[in-house]
Amino acid sequence: MTQLDAVAAPTASDDDARFDVRSIPFSRRGSWLDLSPVVALHRTEPDVHLVSHTTGMHAVLRLVPVRGDAPADVATHGSPPALTWESPDGRIEAVFETTDAIRFRGRGLGMRFAEAADELTPFTGTYLYVDPIDGAPVYTSYETGRRYRLTAITGVLHVAGAEALGEADRWVQISGAADAGEAAEWELVVEEIESSREPYRVRASFDTARESVRAEFDEFLEAVAPWRDDDVPAASAAAYVLWSATVRPEGFLGREGVLMSKHWMDKVWSWDHCFNALALADGAPRLALDQFLLPFDHQTSAGALPDSVTHSEGLYNYVKPPIHGWAFTALRRRLPASLVEPQLPEIYRRLAAWSRFWLDHRRVPGHALPHYQHGNDSGWDNATTFDRDRVIESPDLAAFLLIQLRVVRELALELAERDVTDARGTAPASSSHPAAPDYLADAESWAGAEQEVREGLAALWRGDGYAAVAATAPREAKRRSLLTLLPIVLGEALDGDTTAVLADGIRGHLTEWGPATEPVDSEDYASDGYWRGPIWAPSTVLVEDGLRRAGETELADIVRDRFLRLCEKSGFAENFDAVTGEGLRDRAYTWTASAYLLFAKAHATQG
């Protein structure tokens, strides 16, 4: 039986910080594979599995350490370069040699690679055969549409269930040569292959492969968190969560992308990506800009961004809030001008289309404000604000859009000035080279839209805070959710009285660990209620940033420091119990790791 180390988040040395593979999958930058006992939504198996994230999350192989033919009692732990199974009888290690090849090495213990599926049908499951060309056992998976070739480098292979159909025991087991005794060592590589590939050839030793991965991660860590110190002990763990959840361009992803997790939340949602971009900006600027732009690669002709995108799926049944003007402003401060300036016209075009979507397709005729059609559009899926009505005009949406309209207006003016400068000494445009966009006219249009939305937001003010209202009836939503306090994101644009009211409201949501999404004294509070109580990274970042820019620095410091302690206690979960601080749902969420890095850097460099 496998015993998994119970470590919430690695805080030891940068090189070999141990982590619990139940919380953080073992993987590497660029790979669509991981090794983890988490095999599906809220489903954790006793044994580590090889999991693929092509065409969804699919457990392909079950990895069982064995002593002879019996399962061995081992302890399992991960570190950035290697995953290790250990017992008094021996040790097995795994390392990602490349993004689609995993090397295994063992001594004293063998390893059985068994199919994870229960049955092979004409449309599901895993088929096993032995390739007659090189003698390597190969599994083919209906679920992933890929092949998994196992090549023994040293040691003895045993294969069961080759070419069997229907229900059968299918496994490949490797052990050391019998005549080598206790010193018997073996090595094997598992490759994910699309159709065919030349027989595997060893190009480097196992130790060289491990040190190569260690060096790659250390370089990334030093780039994104050079300021780390003992006061922010989870920085290396946060960096690993980001690094290991990054996948190479493939399928629907035309850029290197940071998935929200290599557990079941294995997609890029169209607001989550903004927080990852911000955390990566200082140390990995190109990767950061790619994260910001990735959903825009899938923008519709109406200007909408997808709800989410991943390897083989893009969803458009919902959208996400327009925080992109806010995010781009913060991102641009961090990125080198030489990277951003050449792309400004394209960024402007994308942000402008995204803004027009909300103005043209999400406003009831005669209304100043756009509306959400469902809580999912807000990113706060089941927040209490949506209890009475799902289709609502909400103050957070108005605030986000107001910031974005200011950003596109200012970009239009900047690009107009650039055009004037570039046009000096240039021949007039011809019919074969049409005139550039009229940025000045755009800027005037954006200014008018800003004023409309500003007046619409003001109409939602009730003296003691903002209210959300039904889009088609004079009915107010419940007002206890943190969602209605998010206009604090307007920061310095707020007057003192409004800031004071919003800050007081945020104080009413604070627990020992940070701002609960629903106050703990609310009748609707639920400790594991998703957006009805738990603490989340994005809401915390938005609140902290808005408070700080509004001059509420003491409260902003409290929010920041409590979130840092929360992650240091409970890792980088999707969300957290607001009272106990326990991590909830997906336990390796990249926007949580990104929020930690953003706050940790500020704490380490600014105090």
Note the Cα 424 to chain centre separation in Å: 45
pLDDT at 118: 84
CATH numbers and ranges of domains, the chain: 2-195+206-214 (2.70.98), 255-371+392-459 (1.50.10.10), 480-607 (no CATH)
Provide the pLDDT for residue 442. Answer: 97
Low pLDDT (below 50) residues in the chain: 5-15, 427, 429-434
Round to whole Å and give the CA distance between 452 and 240: 44
Residue 313 neighbours by CB distance under 10 Å = 13
Report d(CA 515, CA 509) in Å as an integer. 5
Pairing verdict, β 2-4 and 74-78: parallel
Using a 10 angstrom Cβ sphere, with 0-12 exposed, 13-18 middle and 19 or more buried, the burial of residue 448 is exposed
Distance CA 314, CA 304 (A): 12
Instruction: Please report which helix (H) or strand (E) contains residue 248, including its range.
Output: none
pTM of the model: 0.95
Instruction: Pinpoint the alpha helices (H) of 294-372.
Output: 324-334, 337-340, 344-361
Q: Parallel, antiparallel, or unpaired: how do β-strands 137-141 and 146-154 relate?
A: antiparallel
Q: Which pLDDT does position 423 carry in this prediction?
A: 61
Predicted confidence at residue 502, as pLDDT, reads 98
Q: Rounded to 5 degrees, what angle do the CA atoms 584, 317, 51 make?
A: 45
pLDDT, residue 431, reads: 46
* Bridge partners, residue 33, by sequence: 52
pLDDT at 207: 98
**What pLDDT shows up at residue 2?**
54
309-367 confidence digits (pLDDT tens): 999 999 999 999 999 999 999 999 999 999 999 999 999 999 999 999 999 999 999 99
pLDDT at residue 107 in the model? 96
Q: Can you give the three-state secondary structure of 71-125, one letter per residue?
A: ECCEEEEECCCCEEEEECCEEEEEEEEECCEEEEEEECCEEEEEECCCCECCCCC
Collapse the DSSP code of 66 into the 3-class scheme (helix H, G, I; strand E, B; otherwise coil) and give the result.
strand
pLDDT of residue 419: 83
Whole-angstrom Cα distance, residue 89 to residue 162? 30
Helix 324-334 × helix 395-423 angle, to 10°: 50
Greatest CA separation for the chain: 85
What is the reported pLDDT for 4?
52
Residue showing tokens 């090889």: 50
SS3 15: coil
The DSSP line for 144-206 is TTEEEEEEEEESEEEEESTT--BS---EEEEE--GGGGGG-EEEEEEEEESS--PPP---S-H
